[in-house]
Amino acid sequence: MPQPDLAHLARDLTRIHDAVITGGSPPVQPRALVARSWDRMLRLGLDPSGGNRRVVAAEADVESRRHRSKLRLIVDELKSVLLRAPDAATFILVVTDAEGVILWRDGASGARRQADGLGFVEGAHWSESVVGTNAIGTALAEEAPVQLFSAEHFESAQHPWYCSAVPVHDPGDGRLLGVVDISGPALTLHPTVQSLVTTAVKLAEARLLIIQQEALNGLRDRMSPMLRGTRGPALVVDDEGWVAYQQGVGARDRIEAPREDRTILIPGAGLCSPERVTGGWLLRPSRNAGDRTVAVTLRCSTSPATLEIDSDTGPLTIPLTPRRAEILSAVTSAGDAGISAAELSRRLYGDADHLVTVRAEVSRLRRSIGALLSTQPYRWADGVSASLS
């Protein structure tokens, strides 16, 4: 396939950009993804001439974000793969968090100097709402890979650039971790850049999964010999609630992330107290339990709606937002068969087009009620008896 004439393409895109931004009729319509983003920018009232205020986090905030980001585990590997590519002498590599804040930047010194003038620096917020249509911000908004060339950027100051960005997801739960981006002078764009970034991200996600499994295996190997000689239910999890070892409980792969100041309800064990151990948490029942069946009652007639949990270790009432009450009502009505994300989207929104929103809402809900709710499909966990009132 012949290489496109990049200079000619840049001129055509500039004519399209200028016509759309000024409310005229473009010679051809921009790509659908670009049109959606430009429409968002115009509704936000952003300045296409590049006068939008840059937001740059303080150095301490950047360091804190780096420490919290799982991407710190694989950023060196990303640099090793991408900055050794044949065209690396012309571009920079940027890694952001899920809010579009640049946490790491490396690459060609000339491109870095030009990027400094754009505010394309570590700590800068590159979401669409701050700097307009750009590959990082648009990839976050669309939650999909995005490559933008020249005047497909909203700000004219970004027109001399190309950007290829790919979102990175946590391989364990699908959570968006951030974006990996390659940016360089527009006329140096190589047709393989987007596939290069995509491949690097896939390798990074695979590496994250290996790191997680190695950590869980280490946690299990440390704790299981000690617990095998004890009586009663016990559960060992990492800081995010992923299960490394279980004894006498029917927990699935994950529970809510433990905290020292609150007990966690686990089907088959009742209310458990988290104890900090090296690399994770040990959870055991707060007191001896007999029948460990957990009964839950969803009360939608109260204001707010509540979820009442009657376990062997005592009652617990959790207030619910109207949306969370809707979700739990749908799950309860579905019974043992459960309900898929698509079905839940239709129940909540009238169509199956809100899968990302549904999954995010259920994920937040599970942080409140823990392992009571299972996924794929969404249903009450084994050992939970649920009713509507």
Over pLDDT 90: what percentage of the chain? 62
Neighbour-count burial of 272, counting CB atoms closer than 10 A to its CB (0-12 exposed, 13-18 middle, 19+ buried): buried
**Three-state secondary structure call for residue 125:** strand
- Average per-residue pLDDT in the chain? 89
Helices 193-227 and 75-82 cross at an angle (nearest 10°) of 150
Is 381 a member of any domain?
yes
Say yes or no: 196 and 78 in one domain: yes
According to DSSP, the β-strands at 384-388 and 294-299 are parallel
Say yes or no: 179 and 219 in one domain: no
The two counts, helices (H) then strands (E), for the chain are 11, 16
Whether 359 contacts 373, CB under 8 Å: no
**Residue 337 belongs to domain with CATH number:** 1.10.10.10
Say yes or no: 11 and 159 in one domain: yes
CB atoms within 10 A of CB 388: 12
Say yes or no: 196 and 51 in one domain: yes
Say yes or no: 165 and 22 in one domain: yes
Q: H or E segment at 318?
A: strand 314-320
Mean pLDDT of 144-172: 96
Q: What is the Cα–Cα distance from 235 to 337, expressed in whole angstroms?
A: 27
* Predicted pLDDT of residue 292: 56
Over pLDDT 70: what percentage of the chain? 94
Quick: pLDDT tens for 316-329. Answer: 788 888 899 999 99
CB atoms within 10 A of CB 154: 31
Dihedral sign computed on CA atoms, order 61, 64, 70, 75? positive
Full domain range(s) for residue 339: 294-388
**Residue 155 belongs to domain with CATH number:** 3.30.450.40
According to DSSP, the β-strands at 146-149 and 314-320 are unpaired
* Predicted pLDDT of residue 273: 81
* Predicted pLDDT of residue 287: 57
pLDDT above 90 for 230: no
Which residue among 156, 179, 210 closes a domain? 210
Is 22 a member of any domain?
yes
Mean pLDDT of 96-100: 96
* Predicted pLDDT of residue 181: 98
pLDDT above 80 for 99: yes
Is 145 a member of any domain?
yes
Which residue among 257, 285, 313 closes a domain? 285
pLDDT above 90 for 352: no
Say yes or no: 220 and 199 in one domain: no
Q: What is the Cα–Cα distance from 379 to 212, expressed in whole angstroms?
A: 26
Query: Out of 1-15, 158-172, 173-187, 234-248, which region has the weakest mean confidence (pLDDT)?
Result: 1-15
The owner of tokens 């804190």 is 64
Say yes or no: 232 and 148 in one domain: no
Say yes or no: 122 and 197 in one domain: yes
pLDDT above 60 for 291: no
Is 124 a member of any domain?
yes
Looking at the DSSP bridge assignments, the partners of residue 262 are 259
Mean pLDDT of 241-260: 84
pLDDT above 70 for 315: no
Query: Out of 142-151, 161-170, 294-303, which region has the weakest mean confidence (pLDDT)?
Result: 294-303
* Predicted pLDDT of residue 366: 79
Is 1 a member of any domain?
no
Which residue among 170, 193, 210 closes a domain? 210
CB atoms within 10 A of CB 236: 24
Say yes or no: 274 and 371 in one domain: no
Predicted confidence band of residue 288 (pLDDT cuts 50, 70, 90): very low
According to DSSP, the β-strands at 161-169 and 176-185 are antiparallel
Say yes or no: 218 and 128 in one domain: no
Mean pLDDT of 191-200: 94
Say yes or no: 192 and 308 in one domain: no
* Predicted pLDDT of residue 102: 98
How many domains would you assign to the chain? 3
Say yes or no: 181 and 276 in one domain: no
